[in-house]
Amino acid sequence: MTKQYVRVVADLHCSWEGLPPIYRVYVNDELFSERTWIWTDSYLEETLQILAEPGKYKIRFELVPPYLAQLWMKDLRVEQGHASIKNNELLRIRDESQ
Position 55 scores a pLDDT of 97
Query: Is a pLDDT exceeding 70 seen at residue 98?
Result: no
19-44: pLDDT as tens digits:
999 999 999 999 999 999 999 888 99
**CA 98 to CA 93: how far, in whole Å?**
12
Rg (CA), the chain: 15
DSSP 48-90: EEEEE-SEEEEEEEEEPSS-SEEEEEEEEEEEESSEEEETTTE
